[in-house]
Chain A
Amino acid sequence: MTLAANAVRWLAGRKVIVDDVTVSIEPGQMLGLIGPNGSGKSSLIRLLAGLRSPAAGEVVLGGKPMSGLGRRELARRVAVVEQHSMTEANVTVLDVVRLGRTPHRSALSPWTSEDDRIVTEALARVDLEGRSDQFWHTLSGGERQRVQLARALAQSPSFLILDEPTNHLDIQHQIDILRLVAELPVTTIVAIHDLNLAARFCDQIAVLSDGRLIGCGAPMEILTEGLIASVFGVDAHVSTSQHHGRLHIQFRM
């Protein structure tokens, strides 16, 4: 199954936020979405996740336009992790992860042992087994993102869409979360700020600037010194890391 945006456009009031973007992702890959603040990353993420409808163009999921899919059907295939999840409710880790089963259940269908199995598996995947009774508000930022990741996995999705999931985390937890995501057996789209992390973990990188797609391809091809200078306005030195063999971007400050 593929997920693709065909010439999508999105406006906030009269301001064009996403302008004529065409991008697609191959099954099993991890696509990184990079661009400066206000370049339209979050809006494109929302369009791809079906949380907003494009003003023009369409998002296509498995050959069908997303607008033709039911909400629940969509939620069984595409799971979303937001930048920063907040709640006033006194919920536990287990309560949150169980929310992931919502699109698979009707109003009256009971909780099954299959649901239990999937939730337990999701918790194990993010190394939170045994923490299920802990309250959400006692968790650290990194743990909260892992819980949300487990919730997304409990949706049993084909696609996982993450909007700057590492934004509020320290470097150790940023790497933790991205390594976890990269190892998951799902197709992933992730908006991300840090160019080195993007180059390290993503198979493909799409670059946005002022709502337009500047380029899309493997990190080696896309993240050139020229592109970084023109899109981000910084002077960078790009080399291949002797340490991990991927790109290493240094900034001249």
Chain B
Amino acid sequence: MGYKIIVLAKQVPDTRNVGPDAMTPEGTVNRAALPAVFNPEDLNALEQALRIKDANPGSTITMLTMGLPKATEVLREGLYRGADAGVLLTDRALGGADTLATSYTLAQGIKKIGDYDIIVCGRQAIDGDTAQVGPQVAEKLGLTQITYTEEVLSVAGKKITAKRHIDGGVETVEGPLPIVITVNGSAAPCRTRNAKLVMKYKNAKPAPEIAALTDEAEKAYYATRPYLAIQQWGAADIDADPAQIGKAGSPTNVKAVKNIVFTAKESKTFTASDNDIDNLMAELIQSNTIG
């Protein structure tokens, strides 16, 4: 039996390389100033989705992302690895969203996709580390959830079984479909791109960009390859309540953001010479700090 799977993926600023211009004066993230990457745990989530698809012929995977038009990149990366379709949620009105407004928007997008059995996403994104969007999407859709998933063990009939992390251990749980699954970074890494799929999808673009093409040859190219059109929806397309999206739909406000300046302690500096290290160690032993 085939399953309809939706993978939620986020394009994130690579917080492993943060510069001083990373935040706007308003306290939101200045995404333009940072390299953008596929959120690492969303790749682990994609792998779990692909394994379900492999084990259940007839299954399909739709990638869903919310972000700037540039976030199309993560949809293409999904297609290169075996996803079947991509949907981009992009609209100025969606900007400045906290996790709750983001979850509402994604849930509206999922409702518009309509048919789904399993929604999979990474446990958390590296730009916020909140782990809130997965459970909030589940709540908005009235679904239950399995968070911190290490491995989906099986999907059969209307049931899914998964191994998940808990504090100090692991548990195996069984839940009903439809369901939301969030996947840990320690789960199996995502497979690499498939060369044939890269060839097939490398020119995939949001549908509005294709519609705006003027070059006749290009128009003809896309006309014969409908799979290259990535769905793009704005706030109106997903029937979003303006009060629940973007900044307006976000209960949290950033009051202040500050760069931390450490109050320098008076410190003793040593070199790595034998003599210096011996002196330091002697001092520590003398003061009963060690030994």
> Do the two chains bind?
no
| A interface residues, Cβ below 8 angstroms from B | none
| B interface residues, Cβ below 8 angstroms from A | none
